[in-house]
Structure 1
Amino acid sequence: MRIGELAELAGTTTRTLRYYEQLGLLPARRAGNGYRAYDEADLRLLREIRVLQDFGFGLEETRPFVECLRAGHPEGDSCPASLEVYRRKLAELDDCIARLEDVRRQVAGQFERAVQARDELAASVQPPLCELTEDSTEDSTEEE
């Protein structure tokens, strides 16, 4: 298949495919007429890259998965290098989650302090006395 067809099937652009070729993630094979030629295996590589990128993997992090598929393995994550990328990504995610949990605790503490301060202020402040309201109540009682 040609580059436009592959791009459409993969849900990407021809520019992206050319970039992947430059990075060595996608093979740059040419047909007899000089056009780029791709097959189903290339589409599978692109789908692997796309899934990993959706998970937050950088392009270089996808390389071991692509190489694993190119080596003929049925899955891109069945090679030791791919498993190592998973380990590193999981450690990175765990660190990110821990930082977010810490920030959440801090924000929740600030929120609780702000609510408590607001409630204490509201309890200590007397509403202003409106003389007009009291006078008019007394006047209406006298008229009856």
Structure 2
Amino acid sequence: MRIGELSRRTGVSERALRYYEEQGLLHPERRPSGYRVYRDADVPQVRRIRVLLAAGLGIAQIAQALPCLTDDDLPAPTCPELVAELVKHRDRIGEAIDELETTRANLDTIIGADRRAG
């Protein structure tokens, strides 16, 4: 299939698909005309990329993670080292959430003090 069809089947822009190729996440065949030809297996690959992006992983992390994921719609890690890295990533996100909640509480206190003074 050509890039437009992959874009339609995945809901991902052609520009993003080209970027994924540049980053080594997709490997379409190239015709002598220069057209990219994708395999049916690239559809779930793009979905896995999108799930990992939505989970907050960067492109370099995704490149390392892709070989260690199942081919299911909801990817599952098959390499123990990937699980450890994902746990660390989740823990960093949890810490960031805690810091943001503290910041919000501080703002709520300031806002409340402003209302009491007014």
TM-score by length of structure 1 reads 0.66
Identity %: 34
Deviations 1:4-23 (A, max 9, x none): 21121111222222221111
- Aligned residue for 1:92, secondary structure, equals helix
Residue 40, structure 1, aligned to residue 40, structure 2: yes
Query: Which structure is richer in relative contact order (CA contacts within 8 A, separation 6 or more)?
Result: 2
1:14 maps to which residue? 14
| Structure 1: gaps of 5 or more residues | 119-144
TM superposition shift of 1:96: 1.0
Moved more, 55-64 or 99-108: 55-64
TM superposition shift of 1:3: 1.8
Residue 104, structure 1, aligned to residue 104, structure 2: yes
Runs of 4+ in structure 1 deviating by more than 4 angstroms, as ranges, are 31-34
2:80 maps to which residue? 80
2:52 maps to which residue? 52
- Find the structure with the greater CA-based Rg: 1
Contact 2:3 2:37 (8 Å CA) reproduced: yes
The letter of the residue matching 1:17 is L
| Structure 2: gaps of 5 or more residues | none
Contact 1:48 1:76 (8 Å CA) reproduced: no
Number of equivalent positions: 115
Contact 1:48 1:65 (8 Å CA) reproduced: no
Contact 1:66 1:76 (8 Å CA) reproduced: no
- Aligned residue for 1:18, secondary structure, equals helix
